[in-house]
Amino acid sequence: MDLLNSGKVRNRIKVRSVILALIVHVYLAVFTLGISLILLLIIGLITNSFINREMVEASSNSNKFKKNFPFKYYGQIFGSFQHVFSHSEIIEKNLYLAIESELCDKTPINTLETVTITDIDNDLSETEGRTFIRASSTNTSRGTSITIVLNQARYGKMQSIEWRVLGGGFIDRDKKFNLVAYSVFTFLFWIIPYVKKEHDLLARVRTIYPGSFNDIDVITQIRCLHDAVFNAMINELERNEIDTSELKAQKMQVMNITISGGKVSMGNVVQGAMNKVSNAAKGGKS
């Protein structure tokens, strides 16, 4: 996963960001007799090391997490949907095959791959891994990656399939610079939640480019992926004589999704928080 691939976007530290940071820290150094610069050096290095560690783990396609954010390296969730049904036979494999066939036939996705995502939370008596099916689309021309992740579960005679589409931005050098440069002011606000695995630090330095053309490209991929999965599910469930009226209604809601300036909004979809991308700069919990 190339987190620095910004496509056509010039990914650089902006001159005004450097000038503003210099002005702030010069004034602060004068009032604190230089103590603030020592704090900036220490806290800035700590912040930068945390960011670099997150980048290395994401670039190595790490599938391990602690407690929260199991899909954080794929980006922010654009929409998460779950459909529950009852059937006398387990049709998990058939559903996956139908979805893979639809995606490969209708989109540039070539194959679905199985990944095991493991919770290595220290509070657990032992680590726990769960299997998911993942497929990645091609990046937009402005560096936004789109990934779809699916999983199925059973509860008695009930079966469910859940999928989520995630959008990942590139590492914004200007955001990273600002986070480090002003870390002396913000460090105490995020370090404890970060250590407790309740804060996604990487999301604070990733950018889903907020441009109209990128919005068009992203929304096209999202709608196509959702549509393909819905169609495959509806066809397979109907082939097994399972009622799909609720699923068809849910599909209509999904088509209400819109994106503006990198922010996601959807119609009256009942599941999931549908404005995750707008929360990316805050590093909020997914």
The three-state secondary structure class of 99 is helix
Res 43 pLDDT > 90: yes
Amino acid 76: pLDDT: 86
Q: Give the least confident one: 73-87, 119-133, 152-166.
A: 73-87
Percent of the chain clearing pLDDT 70 (strictly above):
88
Question: Using alpha carbons only, what angle is made at residue 60 by residues 54 and 66, rounded to the nearest 5 degrees?
Answer: 50
For residue 76, report the phi and psi dihedrals to the nearest 5 degrees.
Answer: -95, 145
Model confidence at 111, pLDDT cuts 50, 70, 90, reads confident
Mean of the per-residue pLDDT values for the chain? Answer: 86
Q: What residue spans of the chain are helical by DSSP H?
A: 15-32, 35-59, 92-106, 173-181, 183-195, 212-239, 245-254
Q: Give the least confident one: 146-155, 174-183, 200-209, 257-266.
A: 257-266
> Between these two residues, 11 and 282, which has the higher pLDDT value?
11
pLDDT tens digit sequence for 78-93: 888 889 999 888 999 9
Res 271 pLDDT > 50: no
Res 275 pLDDT > 70: no
For residue 259, report the phi and psi dihedrals to the nearest 5 degrees.
Answer: -135, 135
Model confidence at 281, pLDDT cuts 50, 70, 90, reads very low
